[in-house]
A and B are shown apart, each in its own frame.
Chain A
Amino acid sequence: MARITVHFEPDGKTVELESPATALRAAELAGISMNAVCGGEGMCGRCKVIIRSGEVRAEPTAHLSREEIRNGYVLACRCYLDGDATIEVPPESRLEGAPRLTDEDALRFGSTRVLVGEHRPYPHDPLSRKVLLTLPPPTLDDNLADQERLFRELRREREIPVMQMGLAQLRQLAALLRQNDWRVTATLGRRGGTVEVVEVEGGDTSGRNYGVAIDVGTTTVVAHLVDLNTSETIARQATYNSQIQYGEDIITRIMYANTQEKLDRLSACVVDDINNLIAGLVGSAGVSLHDVTFALCAGNTTMMHLLLRLEPSAIRTEPYVPTALAPPVIRAAEVGVKINPRGLLGWVPAVACYVGGDVVAGVLVSGMARSEKPCMLMDVGTNGEIVLGNKDWLVCCSASAGPAFEGGGISCGMRATRGAIERLTMTDGCRIASYSVIGGGRPAGICGSGLVDLVAEMLRHGDCLDRTGKLSMSNGSSHVREGEDGLEFVVAPADQTATGRDIVITQADLQNFIRSKGAIYHAAECLVERFGLGFQDLDRIYISGGFGNYLNIREAIIIGLLPDCPEERFQFIGNGSVQGAKTMLLSQPALEDGEAIASRMTYIELSTDPRFMNDYTSALFLPHTDIEKFPSVWKELNRQG
């Protein structure tokens, strides 16, 4: 073993470490976030770097083209450094750029819902309240103890059957009351069925009480800072879940967390992300961290386990039993989340291993649990979920679409961040007419909504794509060419891109994409039909998920991702997870509704449904083998063809 020095360009960062080590490890030490979505297993091919100087041993990989190998590209995770080296990290290999704030776009569709307040479904009744109290000083006639005196005063205002107070607070109570002439502010936090006097402060601080609602997603973490006195949203921030470096999907992460140390590491990752978000929120809003008294999280069951450091392994194996679905409200500091040191942290309850509190939150926001007529919620994402029902019944299933909609498994795919092609149109002969890039400028890749547009437009224009999603050169389209792995479609040539390389969609990408869209549509169809309904019976179809906001409904129908229903029946609810968490944070009755939704939602395991497996292939077609199910698409494509 020897100490080696590794220099990174264009960052100009240098690190020393023991050899042999991988370039990925060196980058980690240098604080460069690499796009290693497989967790450094050599599977995803995203951590490409260029060796500028130095001796390296690179394992062979199928993820690099001949041209790339000639130019010195290696996979950072499969490349061992034996001596000093200089390594260039190209932009596409970095994990950077905050994800787009999904709610801003949800606003564009007019669907951000404020559910708490007067004339709205839920009353203002936050999970954490500050109450200003002026206690009558004790006398010989009224010689009740300090704690009970405080409780008595609190109960004057409203019925609170079970109240509790921590020893640390109690120890300070006597002095605090007397020093402040019996005028104090009590912070009351809900912990399940009891109310805790979380903190007692001298004087009047009741005007400053804040909470955070957090969507702990597999890919992104979104936090909203709300004023618990007014229900107003003060600031929003989002970031990537930095657990991504240990695996893109939840299964990889559960497998990674096989020791206490690794589980702690995953927890620390997301706790750091949350702390950074909260620090940013309070900073931008000019709020003191001390006044943030409650954090309510919503996330899938795995995210909840990993953050709370609960044993996650049983989630992944039969009979799929998590440690908890509705964990207790804890002190945020117990897991390292930095708000008021005595502040509380709770979770929106989950339904099952694969249906988490994020879905419950989405259902609450959609309002489908209050609807007379049946509605559907489609969460379009890596671990998609479908919920069906109304005020009387709710069923759900998971629709594992894979990461294609978030850019995974697509050679030039990327998440919906700066540089991604998000919209695209074509003219006849499959010629690209226009595209728009998130953040403007040159494109670096294509994201889910761009892919949906691309495939729909290819179907409409010319015959370079058949209905199984196979490319062909038969009409001599200048955009289709023979690539290293068969035919590929050039979306943007190298001289127009940010990476200096062509942005292409390969035959394999298209097949991945079609499998993803087929999985979501087919799960929705199986669920609807299993309950004797058709899509036409649905009053509303709600679309949620980070990807959902940017989706062009018509294009998604053309490719058979969404059912062929009138467009006005579809409604985006944006990030249902964070909005639902926020609603519950601001209103105890909403939390109770959320708990009721979680407990009455029935999880349907589609993988044991023979129909689901038998007819999955019918959805692996554009839009579907049974075109009769897509009458408007049939009409449109035939008019043109």
Chain B
Amino acid sequence: MAIEEPLEKWSTAVATVRVGATAADGGTRGREIVLGGEMTLPFLHFEGATPNKPVVAMEVLDIAPQDWPDVLMKPFADVVDDPAAWAAKCVNDYGAEMICLKLEGTHPDSGDKGPDDAAKVVKAVLEAVDVPLIIWGCDVDEKDNQVLPACSQAAAGERCLLGTAKEDNYRTLVASCMADGHNLIAESPLDINIAKQVNILVSEAGLPLDRVVMYPTTGGLGYGIEYAYSIQERGRLAALTGDKMMSPPVVCQIGQEAWRAKEAKASDEEAPQWGAAEKRGPMWEAMTAIMLLQAGADILIMRHPNAVALVKKAIDELMRS
């Protein structure tokens, strides 16, 4: 007698968010990326469709990184002072599907660059590459509220992902996204309730949920990843069981969190017993990414080219049904 496979039936799907406007949509991106739309838990193709594959965005800073270890600096040594060239290298040489431009240089403690400078960098990067762009502020609310509207205007019509909006700082960003046709990243501090609250707040402020991506805060391998994993998984279960307010796709800060770990960044001299840093760091980053893919990540923001290559290959295999 044939045994019937026990299948979960999900009532709803993850929301679909389109990032990047092509010429047809009035933008200049080479192609549009569609995020989300999953009708099942990650990669359970026998249970439901996963119409859009997770994508890898590579991180580009507007200033030369202050605290990146040598292993991470090496691939970008020739471009770290030129965000446009850096972005181009990520796309052309390393296969980045999106670029995440982080405006570290606008942080009051690391350069305190103004809105005009930031907007110039955004324009330069948009000209250098044709993939969709994520514009990420410096996480100082007051500064972000000055800088991001200028960047938003500079990128008007390109349907970027702008972030991040938080529970107590979202109105300015929502207004910018609505005015300039961008999508929004809604951040929450590893708290599923606050994640939902931010989504409610931005949608009540007028931005539809199909223009929101959630950033539930990421924990790196060995440094709280299980907590990040379970928050992400709980959010995804809510999205699949009818909670519309939890339906937006999820973005993860893989590179930033993985490379905080001493296991990733310690040099060969500091930790000879751990194996070659050249391999160890990228592996740490790739492991972090692959684990969070299983929790339902839709965008992985990453740093090292080798890690990117490993993860893209893994995604392709996971997408094969």
Contact = CB atoms under 8 A, between A and B. Distances in A.
13 contacts: A466-B205, A467-B197, A468-B167, A468-B197, A470-B168, A472-B171, A615-B193, A617-B193, A618-B196, A621-B200, A625-B193, A625-B197, A627-B200
B200 A467 contact: yes
Interface of B: 167-168, 171, 191, 193-194, 196-197, 200-201, 204-205
A466 B204 contact: yes
B201 A617 contact: no
A474 interface: yes
Nearest to B170: A466
A617 B168 contact: no
A618 B198 CA distance: 12
Contacts of A618: 193, 196
* Residue of B193, B200, B201, B205 contacting most chain A CB atoms (<10 Å): B193
A617 B191 contact: yes
Contacts of B200: 467, 621, 625, 627
A621 B197 contact: yes
Contacts of A641: 204
Contacts of B194: 617
B201 A466 contact: yes
A618 B200 CA distance: 12
Given A468-B167, A470-B168, A474-B171, A625 B204 contact: no
4 closest Cβ pairs, A-B complex: A618-B193, A617-B193, A625-B193, A625-B196
Given A472-B171, A474-B171, A467 B193 contact: no
A617 B193 CA distance: 6
A467 B204 contact: yes
A469 B184 CA distance: 22
Interface string A85-100: 0000000000000000
A618 B167 CA distance: 13
B24 to A, nearest CB: 34
Question: What's the interface size class on A, roughly?
Answer: 10 to 19
B201 A468 contact: yes
Interface in A618-641: 618, 620-621, 625-627, 641
A148 B279 CA distance: 101
Contacts of B168: 468, 470
B201 A467 contact: yes
Interface string A44-68: 0000000000000000000000000
B35 to A, nearest CB: 24
A263 to B, nearest CB: 43
A467 B168 CA distance: 11
A225 to B, nearest CB: 50
A622 to B, nearest CB: 10
A626 B204 CA distance: 14
* Residue of A467, A615, A625, A627 contacting most chain B CB atoms (<10 Å): A625
A621 B200 CA distance: 10
Interface in A572-628: 615, 617-618, 620-621, 625-627
A615 B197 CA distance: 12
Contacts of A474: 171
A464 to B, nearest CB: 12
Nearest to B242: A628
Nearest to B196: A625
A525 to B, nearest CB: 13
B205 to A, nearest CB: 8
Interface string A106-123: 000000000000000000
Nearest to A616: B193
A603 to B, nearest CB: 27
A474 B200 CA distance: 18
Given A470-B168, A625-B196, 5 more contacts: A466-B204, A474-B171, A618-B193, A620-B193, A621-B200
Nearest to B188: A617
A214 B205 CA distance: 51
Contacts of B197: 467-468, 617, 621, 625
* Residue of B191, B197, B204 contacting most chain A CB atoms (<10 Å): B197
Nearest to A628: B243
Contacts of B201: 466-468
Nearest to B167: A468
Contacts of A625: 193, 196-197, 200
B38 to A, nearest CB: 22
Nearest to B194: A617
Nearest to B172: A474
Contacts of B167: 468
A626 to B, nearest CB: 8
B165 to A, nearest CB: 12
Nearest to A615: B193
Interface in A456-471: 466-468, 470
Nearest to B168: A470
Nearest to A472: B171
B187 to A, nearest CB: 14
Nearest to B195: A625
A618 B196 CA distance: 9
Nearest to B169: A470
Contacts of B204: 466-467, 641
Nearest to A474: B171
B184 to A, nearest CB: 16
A517 to B, nearest CB: 15
B283 to A, nearest CB: 33
B306 to A, nearest CB: 38
A625 B191 CA distance: 12
A467 B197 CA distance: 8
A302 to B, nearest CB: 33
A373 to B, nearest CB: 30
Contacts of A468: 167-168, 197, 201
A94 B263 CA distance: 62
A617 B200 CA distance: 14
Contacts of B196: 618, 625-626
A470 B168 CA distance: 7
Nearest to B200: A467
Contacts of B191: 617
Contacts of A621: 193, 197, 200
B199 to A, nearest CB: 10
A507 to B, nearest CB: 10
B239 to A, nearest CB: 14
Nearest to A507: B168
Contacts of A627: 200
A393 B257 CA distance: 51
A472 B193 CA distance: 22
Nearest to A617: B193
B203 to A, nearest CB: 11
A615 B194 CA distance: 10
A313 B167 CA distance: 41
Contacts of A472: 171
A641 B205 CA distance: 11
B210 to A, nearest CB: 19
B8 to A, nearest CB: 21
A620 B196 CA distance: 12
B208 to A, nearest CB: 15
A615 B238 CA distance: 14
Contacts of A467: 197, 200-201, 204
A32 B190 CA distance: 51
Interface in A512-526: none
A58 B109 CA distance: 38
